[in-house]
Structure 1
Amino acid sequence: MIIRLVMLAEFVAITAALAMPESLQSWVLASFVLATAALVVAIFPSSTSLGLSKLLRPGLVAVLVAPALWMALQAVPMPMGTFGNPIWATASAALNESLAEIVTVDTRATMVSLSQYCAVLAAALLTAVIALDRYRAAQVLHILLSIATIATAMWFRKETTGIAGPDGSTVAVLGVLLSCATAIRALDQLRRHSRPGTIAPAPLPALFAAIIAMIVCLAALLSRANSTAIVSALLGSGILLSVFAIRRWFLGLWGTAGIFATAAIFSIASVTVIPFKTNTDLTIALSTSSQIATERMLQDVAPAGSGAGASAVLLPIYRDVGTDATRERPTAAAAIVIDMGWAFLCGLVIIAMLGACILVRRSLSRAYDYVYPALGAGASIALTILAFADHGILGLGASLLVAALFGLAFAQSLPGAGRDAISAEWKAPSERMAGPAPAPLPKFASSLNAIWPRAALMLLGIALIMQAVWTVPPEWYLGGQSSLSTALSTIAPWPYGISKPVSVAAAREDLSLRGEARSGWDSAPAADEQKTDSPAASKAFARALRSSPLRGDIWLLLAAASKHNLAESSTAAMLKMSWYTAPNELDLLPLRLSIALATDAVLRDFEFRDLIKRDVSIVVTHQPIVSPVLAAAYRSASADGKVYLESLISELDPSYLDKIHARNSRQGSR
């Protein structure tokens, strides 16, 4: 009963992650469900703990723990002048307070990535616990196939109707591999139970379902015309078919070598079909989408990376002006290099190849159920290729599905004797007699083997709950969402009727923030009261920047909130951080130009003059739709600021200056 509840909880989490848009809410839901399932397995006694201890050998434990350990180290203060990112020293100078240097550029993004990895690890371990029994493993295989097929069908429908959504190529490739494994298992059952005197377990429905699922998944891949995804699906299926051919016809050593040689030739021929990009980074060479900003990020990547989850934070900084950041997503390999460093990606690829070899060897040594480790080997090859083509493998739903697949593969790759002893309570007496009995262990060693897997699951469940609870409250989330909203309403009105106020994208509540700010403007307090309230706003924004110093919008808000209370040099430093961390955000132009042209310390700095000239040039030559920005900035500018703005516009477009004067005249007559 407990195993069934755990199975239901896990696959509810995977389904919810695939069905819901990728957001904090979907991750929190999946984390709570998986944490509850892990705690249930850890608390209630079960014979699965012995099986998990046999599966989690020291080498595998080290491989699983290494990514989490590296993510945690990225958020730990580093000695000065070592691997710490220089953004922290710059932010420390701008905030005029001491900030420790760490590897990551965004501690919140790194902690969220660490939490997602813990959820993926929990999904893999829970699937392994369930799949230690061969009958449960078959149920897991069928459920995973159903989830992948339904998710692929939904993605296929969106693709055909033109609805934008996340790339589902990874799930479709997994659907092809799962359907191939299900079909091979059904064929084996038909052959084994076709002998006289045996009772067939009705494998025909599973075979028909596998054929339908494969048609759906292949149709989805062909409709996208993504040659990399198609080739990766064929190569992964080729591993499964090669193992099936060897096991079906007992070809011996030379026959096995011939099969693998044929598979290698087929693989090399298939790879030549993939369009490789030349003169670009290897991690984006297979991508068919634009990767301009990603290539720029890769050129600046540090040996230790920029912190887990940092690629999404850095992307807006490196993209071109006026382009939508959502149109470009770094490939999974590029994101790993940017976040974790080149050494981490190389180690990951090596481990994936070694894991595929180990699973193939175990598949060939199994008497029955060899299809599960072969499925894991095929998935290792296919997902490694896909990582260099798109971002899908790093999505929450796809990563949970991948974790469940590998949990199934490694659980069923255990030697027969150990696995039979593990699931003895579920097997028939005749099946218990098959194979030699395991040697008895000393009492202390036996107790330790039974306790430590349950303790590990309990710690993992507690860690998931703590991470989810830590992430949800507004006080932690980006330094306090509620504090940002409250502080924003206390800032002085946006300068002189600017129609498009700054977007606080980091707070994930742009519309509510704008609504609160607008309601605050309509009933704005007196100037003296606003100056009194500005320190509270400054504290809220500064708290957000201590964890996310690359938030150019928050730097700008901090400059706006503090301009009445701090020296002009401090306001200038905050403006400079806003320019450097959000150089291409058009939403920030109105407020940034208004504050810069009204601050004499900014106008006296030649570096700031170049930055102001850049923004004015963007408005005049590239973005004329936001021309009211310059008129509003002109009205709020100081005397020196007006002179400098007039000189800039005269150089770029003299007729544009006449329009600004005419607009200001109309505003004055009103």
Structure 2
Amino acid sequence: MMIRLVMLAEFVAITAALAMPESLQSLGLASFILATAALVVAIFPSPSFLGLAKLLRPGPAVVLAAPALWMALQAMPMPMDTLGNPIWATASAALSAPLAEIITVDMGATMLSLAQYCTALATALVTAVITLDRYRAARVLHILLAIATIATAMWFGKETAGVAGPDGSTVAVLGVLLSCATAIRAADQIARHSRPGTIAPAPFLALSGATIAMIVCLGALLIPTNSAAVVAALVGSGILLSVFAIRRWFLGLWGTAGVFATAAIFFIASVTVIPFRTNTDVTIALSTSSQIATERMLQDVRPAGSGAGASTVLLPLYRDIGIGAPRERPTAAAAMVIDMGWAFLCGLVVIAMLGACILIRRSLARAYDYVYPALGAGASIALTILAFADNGILNLSASLLIAALFGLAFGQSVSGAGREAMSWESKEASARMAGPVPASRPELAPAFVTLWPRVALAVLGIALIVPTLWMILPGWYLGGQSSLSAAITAAAGWPNEISKPVSVAAAHEDFRIRGESRTRKDPALAADEQKTEVPAASNAFARALRSSPLRGDIWLMLAAASKQNSIQTAAMLKMSYYTAPNDLDLLPLRLSVALATDAVVRELEFRDLIKRDVSLVVTRRPAIRPVLVAAYRAASAEGKIYLENLISELDPTYLDNMRARNSRQGSR
């Protein structure tokens, strides 16, 4: 009964992640459900831990823990002049506060990436425990196939309707592999159990469902002509079919070698279909979308990376100026190099290839149910190809589905693991029914062997519960958006919503301030809450910058909120220019703040930066020229003179128009 509840919770989490948009709430919900499932499996004793201990040996355990340990290390203070990113020294000077140098450039993004990895790891381990039993493994296979097929159909429908949505090609490829595995398993059952003149309904029903799922998932890949995803699906399915052919017709060393030689030729022929990009980095060679900013980021990669999740924060710094341009997304391989370093990506590829070889060997060694480890081997090869083509495998929904698939593959990869667990359970039951037995040498091995996997799952569950509460509790307590976020948005006239890490930091600061006021029961603080919202917001976002110094929008918020101190405004504004030079969403407010501060207008470096923004609006983006009128109206006397001189050089005819519009708006 407990295992069924854990299965239900796990699949609810995966389904919710696929149905909900990528957000902080979806990550928090999935991590909470899976943390609870991991704790339940760890607390309640189960004979399955004998099989899990057989799977999770020290070597694989170290491999699984290494990414989490590296992410945690990236958020720790580094010795001076070593691996720490130099942005922290620059931010320390701008904030006039000592900041420790660390590897990551965004602690919030790194912590969210760590939470997502731990969530995927919990999914894999819980699935491995569940699927040690062959009958439960079959149910999990069918449920995963149904989830992948429905998600692929929904994604394809959105793409056909022209609705922008997350990249679902990864889920579609997984759907192809799952349908192929289901079909092979059904064919084996039909050949093994069917008698002449009889029909086994269950295998034929599974085969029919797998065929429909194959058509849906392949159609979703072929119609948009996603060549890299199609090749990944064919190569992964080829691994499955190769194992099936060896098991059915080509037993022996030479037969196995012949099948794999044929598969290798097929793989090479398939790869030639992919349009490789020449004269570019290998991590984006298979991508068909624009990767200009990614190429620039890859040229500045540090040996230790810039922190997990930092590629999304660094992207605005390297992106070209443009309005309405498609949002660039680095490929998964490029994001790993930028975030974690080249050594991490190379190690991951090596582990993926070794894992595929181990799973193929275990698949060929099994008497029955060989399709599950073969499925894991095919997925390992296919996902490696996809990592160099798009960013899909890093999405929360796809990562949970991938983790469940590998948990299923490894859970059924060791022959006899489930049988040993069940036999130990039956021995314990027989001993209890037989009553007390004479004292003998205690059997400590099973208890010792099953203890450390339970401890590992319990630690993982607790490690997931803590960041989940950290992410969700302030939002629930504050009833949605932080009042500090709303206050600074209203004060600065901010056009866009704030990013996940910054909104979390603001919510926690608001949570702390309100908690202190309630604890002290200070009526004066409650009465003056409206008067102090903007200063409190400034403090909150200053704290956010101490964990994410590359937020050009937040630097601009602080510059707008500190207009009384021209020196501080100049420092904050300079950081905004350098950390978000090409973000046109910041241009209206940035021009208004810059031209309203005489100390900024008088400095030569700022004059060049202001001239760049004004030139961009006048010559390349005439549709947003009204922002110049708003900036002119808010500018100081020196700022108005400088803006008039700039516009007279660029477009003298627009200068009179701007003055006239300013006069009309001022007379209203």
Q: TM-score, structure 2 length as denominator?
A: 0.90
Write the mapping of 1:331-370 to structure 2, written as runs, cut at 5 A.
Answer: 331-370=331-370
Query: 8 Å contact 1:357–1:377 — kept in the other structure?
Result: yes
Write the mapping of 1:193-208 to structure 2, written as runs, cut at 5 A.
Answer: 193-194=193-194, 202-208=202-208
Aligned pair partner of 1:505 in 483, 487, 498: 498
CA distance in 2, matches of 1:34, 1:441: 39
CA distance in 2, matches of 1:622, 1:531: 41
Residue aligned with 2:244, SS: helix
Query: 8 Å contact 2:484–2:536 — kept in the other structure?
Result: no
Change (3 A) 1:486 1:373: closer
Residue aligned with 1:327, SS: coil
Residue 214 of structure 1 corresponds to which residue in structure 2? 214
Q: Deviations over 1:297-346 (max 9, x none)?
A: 11122111111111111222222222457632111111111111111011
Residue 648 of structure 1 corresponds to which residue in structure 2? 646
CA distance in 1, matches of 2:649, 2:474: 47
CA distance in 2, matches of 1:156, 1:427: 48
Matched, 1:143 2:143: yes
Amino acid aligned to 2:616 = I
Residue 556 of structure 1 corresponds to which residue in structure 2? 556
Residue aligned with 1:629, SS: helix
After superposing the two structures, state which structure 1 stretch, 82-91 or 617-626, moved more.
617-626
Residue 622 of structure 1 corresponds to which residue in structure 2? 620
Write the mapping of 1:471-620 to structure 2, written as runs, cut at 5 A.
Answer: 471-474=471-474, 482=482, 484-485=484-485, 487-488=487-488, 491=491, 501-506=494-499, 535-564=535-564, 566=565, 568-620=566-618
CA distance in 1, matches of 2:90, 2:441: 59
Q: Kindly state the Cα deviation for residue 55 of structure 1 after the two structures are TM-superposed.
A: 0.8
Q: Kindly state the Cα deviation for residue 387 of structure 1 after the two structures are TM-superposed.
A: 0.6
What fraction of aligned residue pairs are identical, expressed as a percent? 76
Change (3 A) 1:324 1:427: farther
Q: Deviations over 1:401-429 (max 9, x none)?
A: 1001100111111133x43112337999x
CA distance in 2, matches of 1:362, 1:529: 65
Amino acid aligned to 1:503 = N
Residue 17 of structure 1 corresponds to which residue in structure 2? 17
Amino acid aligned to 1:69 = L
Change (3 A) 1:8 1:325: farther
Query: 8 Å contact 2:108–2:501 — kept in the other structure?
Result: no
Change (3 A) 1:501 1:379: closer
Q: Kindly state the Cα deviation for residue 504 of structure 1 after the two structures are TM-superposed.
A: 4.8
Residue 230 of structure 2 corresponds to which residue in structure 1? 230
Q: Deviations over 1:482-533 (max 9, x none)?
A: 2533642784xx6xxxxx74535336999xx9xxxxxxxxxxxxxx999976
How many aligned residue pairs are there? 632
Amino acid aligned to 2:463 = A
Query: 8 Å contact 2:126–2:407 — kept in the other structure?
Result: yes
Q: Kindly state the Cα deviation for residue 642 of structure 1 after the two structures are TM-superposed.
A: 2.0
Residue aligned with 1:290, SS: coil
Gap runs ≥5 in structure 1: 429-439, 495-499, 514-527
Matched, 1:292 2:292: yes
CA distance in 2, matches of 1:401, 1:120: 8
Residue aligned with 1:420, SS: helix
After superposing the two structures, state which structure 1 stretch, 130-139 or 317-326, moved more.
317-326
Query: 8 Å contact 1:132–1:423 — kept in the other structure?
Result: no
Write the mapping of 1:44-63 to structure 2, written as runs, cut at 5 A.
Answer: 44-63=44-63
CA distance in 1, matches of 2:596, 2:154: 53
Q: Kindly state the Cα deviation for residue 182 of structure 1 after the two structures are TM-superposed.
A: 0.8
Amino acid aligned to 1:218 = L
Q: Kindly state the Cα deviation for residue 476 of structure 1 after the two structures are TM-superposed.
A: 12
Query: 8 Å contact 1:316–1:325 — kept in the other structure?
Result: no
Residue 70 of structure 2 corresponds to which residue in structure 1? 70
CA distance in 1, matches of 2:459, 2:613: 51
CA distance in 1, matches of 2:319, 2:595: 26
After superposing the two structures, state which structure 1 stretch, 546-555 or 125-134, moved more.
546-555
Write the mapping of 1:164-313 to structure 2, written as runs, cut at 5 A.
Answer: 164-194=164-194, 202-313=202-313
CA distance in 2, matches of 1:489, 1:588: 13
Change (3 A) 1:530 1:561: farther
Query: 8 Å contact 2:556–2:573 — kept in the other structure?
Result: yes
Residue 636 of structure 1 corresponds to which residue in structure 2? 634
Query: 8 Å contact 1:600–1:640 — kept in the other structure?
Result: yes
Residue 422 of structure 2 corresponds to which residue in structure 1? 423
After superposing the two structures, state which structure 1 stretch, 293-302 or 210-219, moved more.
293-302
Q: Kindly state the Cα deviation for residue 198 of structure 1 after the two structures are TM-superposed.
A: 11
Residue 523 of structure 1 corresponds to which residue in structure 2? none
Query: 8 Å contact 1:502–1:553 — kept in the other structure?
Result: no
Amino acid aligned to 1:256 = T
Q: Deviations over 1:551-602 (max 9, x none)?
A: 11111111121221x3x22211100011111222223222221221222221
Q: Kindly state the Cα deviation for residue 141 of structure 1 after the two structures are TM-superposed.
A: 0.8
Q: Kindly state the Cα deviation for residue 136 of structure 1 after the two structures are TM-superposed.
A: 0.9
CA distance in 1, matches of 2:622, 2:529: 37
CA distance in 1, matches of 2:557, 2:391: 32
Query: 8 Å contact 2:145–2:178 — kept in the other structure?
Result: yes
CA distance in 1, matches of 2:258, 2:414: 27
Q: Kindly state the Cα deviation for residue 613 of structure 1 after the two structures are TM-superposed.
A: 0.6
CA distance in 1, matches of 2:598, 2:302: 37
C-alpha RMSD of the superposition: 2.7
CA distance in 2, matches of 1:211, 1:484: 53
CA distance in 1, matches of 2:604, 2:641: 15
Change (3 A) 1:410 1:151: same
Residue 398 of structure 1 corresponds to which residue in structure 2? 398
Query: 8 Å contact 2:78–2:103 — kept in the other structure?
Result: yes
Gap runs ≥5 in structure 2: 428-439, 507-527
Q: Kindly state the Cα deviation for residue 180 of structure 1 after the two structures are TM-superposed.
A: 0.7
Amino acid aligned to 2:399 = S
CA distance in 2, matches of 1:532, 1:249: 78
Q: Deviations over 1:258-297 (max 9, x none)?
A: 1111111111011001100011111111111111111121
Residue 520 of structure 1 corresponds to which residue in structure 2? none
CA distance in 2, matches of 1:378, 1:406: 11
Residue 517 of structure 1 corresponds to which residue in structure 2? none
Residue aligned with 1:505, SS: coil
CA distance in 2, matches of 1:269, 1:535: 63
Q: Deviations over 1:582-634 (max 9, x none)?
A: 22222322222122122222122211111111111111112222222222222
Q: Kindly state the Cα deviation for residue 247 of structure 1 after the two structures are TM-superposed.
A: 0.6
Query: 8 Å contact 2:108–2:502 — kept in the other structure?
Result: no
CA distance in 2, matches of 1:273, 1:214: 21
Change (3 A) 1:502 1:169: closer
Residue 434 of structure 1 corresponds to which residue in structure 2? none
Change (3 A) 1:530 1:26: closer
CA distance in 1, matches of 2:535, 2:100: 24
Residue aligned with 1:202, SS: helix
